[in-house]
Structure 1
Amino acid sequence: MPVWLNGAFELGLIYSLMALGVYITFRILDFPDLTVDASFTTGAAVAAVLITDGVSPWVACLAAFGAGAIAGAITGILHTKGKINGLLSGILMMIALYSINMRILGGKPNIGLMGADIVTVFSSMKVLLLMPFVVIAIKVLLDLFFRTDLGLSLRATGDNERMIRSFGTNTDNTKILGIALSNGLVALSGSLIAQQSGFADISMGVGMIVIGLASVIIGEAIFGAKSVFRATLAVVLGSIVYRIIIGLAYQSDFLEASDLKLITAVIVIVALVFPSMQKSWKQKNLARKRTAQILGGNGQKGGGR
């Protein structure tokens, strides 16, 4: 396997956790959460600080998940209890987290995890050997959660908030839970990326929401999303496909590393536009066939007379 393809699979698996988090807010809750760009860094920063202090890397990952969940819960509270617009709530939390992340990093823009005495989750096992088990476990847990009464309430809140509220469900709480779970997964992904890359940087979360959306949209466009099981699987595979596309783009001499955001934006635009264009083409072809059938039927009737 080429080195770049191996790296694409590794990053795709780690970022798939972040994509699953984006899927929860973007698709299930229909909530535009920009907290993702900062909570990703929060997870990386928390894990890096704890690991350099000698804490178990697995405990550091759990702490990163908790920190991200708290950030997401605050975003949800601002939106539901504070009655602040959802998009603005995410922006406000993203801005606040920048300063918080700098505090966590000790006022430094980055922390390295490359020392000989530093132990990460990938120290004893390679990414491609460990991450499939981690991703599958989290995917299965999410699938099981979405089949529970609470998970069904969460899904129903995104589908029809008024209806589920009429059944006595507190939609504010389900929104807060969903946004917290989403950002917890995003922060967990950030903690694993920090351990895989060997550092945590204050700006490493910039553009994560777009990358997450790209993974979700690509996965749904290629693999479909008729059920929760299939949708979460599509998100994971979409993350890997996205990384392979990025890897292929980098193989050309025309593109540079600084073009990553541009490539991502183009991929998202194509993934969003293509399905609607495909649907339009199908409708036009169907209309032409119906017109031809009508004209053909009229011709036969005329001939019979």
Structure 2
Amino acid sequence: MIAALELGLIYGLMALGVYLTFRILDFPDLTVDGSFTTGGAVAAILIVGGTNPLLATLAAIAAGLAAGAITGVLHTKGNINPLLAGILTQIALYSINLRIMGAANLSLLREDTLLTPLRDGGLMGGAVSVTIFAAVALVFKLVLDWFLHTDLGLALQATGDNEEMIRSFGVSTDRMKVLGLALSNGLVALCGALIAQYQGFADIGMGIGLIVAGLASVIIGQAVFGTRTIVIATLAVVLGSVLYREVIQVALMVGLEPNDMKLVSAVLVVLALVLPQWGGFRWLNNRLGLRRSHTAGTRAKVDA
């Protein structure tokens, strides 16, 4: 279960990227499956070549930024449908990733990575590693919270909410879309780089179906923990990623095979979409919301 918690926290970075496009920008971006692998491939080939792991990870982020920007340009300048633009970039990245790695699989087991100190110290799979991964996820969550409250971030949100309105104020919605897609895929590529170093290899198929996991994390997290503010929504996304990985781990423990995990992911997304529409779930969520409001009001009176 500790391993699932670690993975959930790392994949929380990817979930934040998916949240940025699907929830903030209202853009169904399918580039994720390709940019995740790109991040892992770039980091792996540079580490094998002797590059410092931190620099290799930063290069992976840059590659993800470029991949997202390409999808944005295809959509905004090429007038290509958002879904098709993401698919085209994803397909192109498959061949590009093979070119980067030079093979379908690249091992990092004998290389120094960002996680080597933790492994050498016997700290993986314990409280220390979980704390470090949680701190990393929290830092990026807070940075995203801060960014979305800046003028640029507010313009990005407005682009997703009402494109025509924000354009009337002189904001270039095309630039906002390219920026949002770039930042999203930068986070996804960072996650891919960390996962490659965590599992000890980069594989050409490591990103297949990842968009479903990202959507599951976003939908489950926000269905359970709420979306009242940006701060709560981003926290819900990270917690949703952890919850998703824990459910997957439980499914494996009860006897399901790894090949069944895509089916489990699809079922989780369906449940997360359907359950909030049921009367009992809405009643419970409303009761919890009222209780939180009552508690906050009581604390405010006490503080006053």
TM-score (norm 2): 0.88
Asked if 1:274 corresponds to 2:275, the answer is: yes
Distance (Å, rounded) in 2 between the aligned partners of 1:278 and 1:164: 36
Q: 2:168 aligns with which of 166, 169, 177?
A: 166
Residue of structure 1 equivalent to 2:222: 220
Deviation at 1:279, TM superposition (A): 7.9
Q: Quick check: 1:123 aligned with 2:116?
A: yes
Q: Which residue in 1 is equivalent to 2:77? A: 81
Map 1:65-104 → 2, pairs under 5 A: 65-104=61-100
Please give the alpha-carbon distance, in whole angstroms, between the structure 2 residues aligned to 1:113 and 1:6.
22
Structure 2 counterpart of 1:12, from 8, 11, 14: 8
Displacement after TM superposition at 1:137 (Å): 1.0
> How far off is 1:129 after superposition?
3.9
Q: Do the aligned partners of 2:223 and 2:272 also contact (CA within 8 Å) in 1? A: yes
Post-superposition shift, 1:280? 9.4
Deviation sequence 1:122-181 (CA, Å, 0-9, x none): 111244242122111111111110111000000110001011001110000000000000
Partner in structure 2 of residue 110 of structure 1? 105
Tell me the CA shift for residue 277 of structure 1.
Answer: 2.4
Alignment of 1:29-68 (within 5 A): 29-68=25-64
Distance 1:176 1:279 in 2: 41
Tell me if structure 1 keeps the 8 A contact 2:275–2:281.
no
Structure 1 runs of 4+ aligned residues shifted over 3 Å read 278-282
Structure 2 counterpart of 1:247? 249
Q: Identity of counterpart residues, as a percentage?
A: 60
- C-alpha distance in 1, partners of 2:104/2:160? 37
Distance 1:24 1:153 in 2: 13
Mark the runs of 5 or more structure 2 residues left unpaired by the alignment.
Answer: 119-123, 284-304
| Letter in structure 1 aligned against 2:38 | T
Equivalent-residue separation in structure 2 for 1:263 and 1:62 (angstroms): 33
Q: Is the 8 A contact 2:61 2:187 kept in 1?
A: yes
2-structure distance, mates of 1:250, 1:71: 33
Note if contact 2:27-2:82 (Cα within 8 Å) is conserved in structure 1: yes
2:238 corresponds to: 236
Paired residue type of 1:189? C
TM-score by length of 1: 0.88
After TM superposition, the structure 1 = structure 2 runs for residues 126-145 of structure 1, keeping only pairs within 5 Å, are 126=124, 127-145=129-147
Cross-structure match for 1:260? 261
For the residue of structure 1 that corresponds to 2:106, the secondary structure is strand
> Which one is further off, 75-84 or 272-281?
272-281
**Inter-partner Cα distance in structure 2 for 1:147 and 1:138:** 14
In the TM superposition, what is the alpha-carbon distance from 1:281 to its structure 2 partner? 7.1
2:44–2:106 contact (8 Å) kept in structure 1: yes
Q: Determine which structure has more spread, i.e. the larger CA radius of gyration.
A: 1
How many pairs are equivalent? 274
Matched letter for residue 99 of structure 2: R
Q: Give the partner amino acid of 1:122.
A: L
Give me the whole-angstrom Cα distance separating, in 1, the residues matched to 2:133 and 2:282. Answer: 40
Q: Cα–Cα, structure 1 residues 147 and 256, in superposed 2: closer, same or farther, change >3 Å?
A: same
Tell whether 2:171 aligns with 1:152: no
- How far apart, in 1, do the equivalents of 2:68 and 2:202 lie? 20
Q: What amino acid is the match of 2:4?
A: A
* AA at the equivalent of 2:92: A
Give the structure 1 partner of residue 212 of structure 2: 210
Deviations 1:13-44 (A, max 9, x none): 11000000000001001111000000000000
Secondary structure of the structure 2 residue equivalent to 1:124: helix
